[in-house]
């Protein structure tokens, strides 16, 4: 089985979205493995060698940011967020579709403007030369990554909302 066939068989998304989902999930998986290995090495060093790994807290914080913001666009496209549908049985199908589109528009607009603000903060971090306390890693790169992934989430949220409105049948 070729790698392309494997992607097609294991991902419900089609075309470039499947490859994007695979890439982002690969980033998240590698990051999670790194965090697991880092935590095990740090605990082993702390309890058996009386010496922990310097900067573990910073690396964990950065790793969690990479992990969360790599998965956010994928979860958004798949509609994996928590949805409360208590009133759906009392509303008509058309109203539910309109509310779904409005929520997709609201969420994507919010994510867009959040990403703009975060990108401004990344630019400020670069201008000021901000670095982490122990490892002296530039903060701007991770903040810029958060902004870019927020823009990707906003884009996928609005396309998902339109896709659901136009192409998905009654559930």
Average pLDDT over residues 28-48: 94
The set of residues, in sequence order, having a beta carbon less than 8 Å from that of 3 and lying 6+ positions away, is: none
Q: Report CA-CA distances (Å) from 106 to 83, 103, 155, 165, 166.
A: 15, 5, 12, 15, 18
Report the distance separating Cα 59 and Cα 37, nearest Å: 12
Is there a contact between 69 and 146 (Cβ–Cβ < 8 Å)? yes
Does residue 63 carry a pLDDT above 90? yes
More reliable by pLDDT, 93 or 151: 151
Average pLDDT over residues 22-31: 94
The set of residues, in sequence order, having a beta carbon less than 8 Å from that of 27 and lying 6+ positions away, is: 66, 70
**pTM exceeds 0.85:** no
pLDDT band at 170 (very low <50, low <70, confident <90, very high): low
Q: Six-digit token pair at 137?
A: 């890693």
Could you please report the per-residue DSSP string of 4-72? HHHHHHH-SS-THHHHHHHHHHHHHHHHHHHHHHHHHHHHHHHHHSS-PPTTHHHHHHHHHHHHHHHHH
Query: Mean pLDDT across the chain, nearest whole number?
Result: 87
């Amino acid at each position: 089985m070729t790698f392309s066939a494997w992607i097609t068989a294991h991902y419900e998304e089609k075309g470039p979205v499947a490859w994007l989902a695979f890439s982002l999930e690969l980033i998240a998986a590698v990051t999670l493995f790194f965090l697991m290995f880092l935590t095990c090495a740090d605990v082993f060093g702390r309890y058996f060698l009386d010496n922990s790994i310097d900067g573990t807290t910073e690396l964990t914080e950065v790793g969690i940011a990479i992990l969360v913001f790599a998965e956010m666009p994928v979860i958004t496209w798949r509609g994996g967020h928590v949805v409360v549908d208590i009133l759906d049985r009392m509303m008509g199908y058309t109203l539910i579709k309109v509310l779904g589109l409005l929520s997709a528009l609201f969420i994507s607009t919010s994510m867009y403007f959040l990403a703009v603000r975060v990108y401004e903060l990344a630019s400020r971090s670069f201008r000021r030369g901000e670095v982490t306390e122990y490892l002296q890693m530039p903060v701007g790169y991770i903040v810029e990554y958060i902004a870019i992934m927020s823009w990707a989430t906003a884009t996928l949220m609005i396309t998902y909302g339109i896709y659901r409105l136009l192409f998905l049948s009654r559930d």
